[in-house]
Amino acid sequence: MSSPLILGIESTCDETAAGVVRGKELLSSVVASSMDMHARYGGVIPEIASRAHAEAFVPVVTKALEEAQVDLSDIDAIAVSAGPGLAGCLAVGVSGAKALAYAANKPLYGVNHVIGHIAVTQLQFGAFPENTLALIVSGGHTSLLRVMNIATDVQVIGTTLDDAAGECFDKIARLLGFPYPGGPIVDQHAQHGDPHALRVPQALTTGRSAQNHPYDFSFSGVKTAVARWVERRQEQGKSIPVDDVCASLASSVANVLSNKAIAACTQFDAHTLIVGGGFSANSQLRQALLTKGQQHGLDIRVPRISLCTDNGAMIAMLGSNLVEAGVKPSALDFSIDSSMPMDKIVM
């Protein structure tokens, strides 16, 4: 059997994206972002994002097929993000994908966007070893997953109890007056600051809370502690050492994420850790994971930056896994699921 040719479509937030994959070979990846439209509001406005998806859908899919030098009739199956994500944004992508699948008589898979962040690493590192763990970190999700089979069996072993890592960064960035998106700017400042300048809490890492939630995350306290420190300085008329604030925040978050991920690998006897999601582009987290992974003899697979952020290639890659595993396509009347659970791979 030849490798399946899959068109992947992504529209969970502010990127309209499409990609084409043959087996585990990337043929094209096209992304149109509406980020600039949201900058003035300091965050994504769902209605604006949905309209941008509707405008960009056809041009993005068309360009992805052209760059891959294939026609829609050549495609073996279409995969589209069905959740989790913003409901209006998901609806645009899923509706468009359903129309394409129906018109071209192609099987359609409504897939889990977050699991796509795991699958995409195959384009850079190849197939998964058995018993792989995955750390997914983004603006909306922080999860530790056990990947027994990327197409059929993904188990949740840890998740965020409140703010996700990226969400924590965005809120502190807004407090510091950084434009949206603030996460990358925090990262840049952190590279020049003292990570020990502020005492930033590391929740669920000691005592009974760590015993009850060994692989869960909580960043709400981190956000609050840093925010109060900054506000006190402002009330006292003191300057804000922005680099130090960013470095202390980044160091705390990176340590919690990396330490819990490494501990989970030891507990579950996993020798490979996949890292994915937009926040995995953070330089402090990447360095912490790679350093600690080397110390523990682990294979840490952190993808290149272009594969970290939302893209259509990751959805196509997950679709390719589903087709190769013989998983049945989704029914054409499947619904979106804005809060799709992490252990649900396909609708």
**Alpha-carbon distance 157 to 154, whole Å?**
10
Q: What is the predicted pLDDT for the residue at 166?
A: 82
Handedness of CA 225, 221, 154, 337 (dihedral sign): negative
**Alpha-carbon distance 272 to 293, whole Å?**
9
**Alpha-carbon distance 342 to 347, whole Å?**
12
- Residue 62 belongs to a domain: yes
Question: Do strands 132-137 and 272-276 pair parallel, antiparallel, or not at all (unpaired)?
Answer: parallel
Residues 58, 167 within the same domain: no
Residues 19, 37 within the same domain: yes
Q: What is the predicted pLDDT for the residue at 42?
A: 65
Residues 104, 162 within the same domain: no
Which segments of 28-144 does DSSP mark as H helices, in order? 35-39, 46-68, 87-104, 113-119, 122-125
- Residue 329 belongs to a domain: no
**Alpha-carbon distance 35 to 14, whole Å?**
6
Looking up residue 38, the CATH number of its domain turns out to be 3.30.420.40
DSSP-derived letter for residue 332 is T
Non-local (6+) Cβ contacts of 69 within 8 A are: 27
CB atoms < 10 A from the CB of 156, how many?
13
With a cut of 50, list the residues of the chain below it in pLDDT.
none
Residues 144, 270 within the same domain: yes
Q: What is the predicted pLDDT for the residue at 35?
A: 64
- Residue 108 belongs to a domain: yes
Rg of the chain (C-alpha set): 20
Angle, helix 165-175 to helix 242-267, in steps of 10 degrees: 170
CA distances from 312 to 12, 205, 347 (A): 11, 36, 18
**Alpha-carbon distance 51 to 284, whole Å?**
35
Q: What is the predicted pLDDT for the residue at 317?
A: 98
Q: What is the predicted pLDDT for the residue at 38?
A: 61
Query: In angstroms, how far apart are the furthest CA atoms of the chain?
Result: 70
Q: What is the tally of structural domains in the chain?
A: 2
H or E element: which one contains 265? helix 242-267
CA distances from 243 to 98, 148, 161, 247 (A): 47, 41, 28, 6
Non-local (6+) Cβ contacts of 245 within 8 A are: 172, 176, 189, 193, 197, 198, 226, 229, 230
- Residue 135 belongs to a domain: yes
Amino acid identity at 165: A
Residues 209, 288 within the same domain: yes
Q: What is the predicted pLDDT for the residue at 40?
A: 64
Residues 112, 170 within the same domain: no
pTM: 0.93
Question: Mean pLDDT over all residues of the chain?
Answer: 92
CA distances from 12 to 174, 184, 232, 291 (A): 23, 20, 37, 32
- Residue 34 belongs to a domain: yes
Residues 85, 165 within the same domain: no
pLDDT tens figures, 186-230: 999 999 999 999 999 888 888 899 899 999 999 888 889 999 999
Residues 236, 249 within the same domain: yes
Residues 60, 27 within the same domain: yes
305, burial (CB in 10 Å: exposed 0-12, middle 13-18, buried 19+) = exposed
- The answer to whether residues 121 and 307 touch, using CB atoms and an 8 Å cutoff, is yes
Q: What is the predicted pLDDT for the residue at 39?
A: 61
- The answer to whether residues 109 and 151 touch, using CB atoms and an 8 Å cutoff, is no
- Residue 339 belongs to a domain: no
**Alpha-carbon distance 161 to 149, whole Å?**
26
Domain containing 318: what range?
5-120+311-324
Residues 115, 155 within the same domain: no
Q: What is the predicted pLDDT for the residue at 257?
A: 95
- Residue 331 belongs to a domain: no
Q: What is the predicted pLDDT for the residue at 143?
A: 93
Non-local (6+) Cβ contacts of 97 within 8 A are: 9, 78, 79, 80, 108, 110
- Residue 340 belongs to a domain: no
Residues 79, 220 within the same domain: no
Residues 42, 172 within the same domain: no
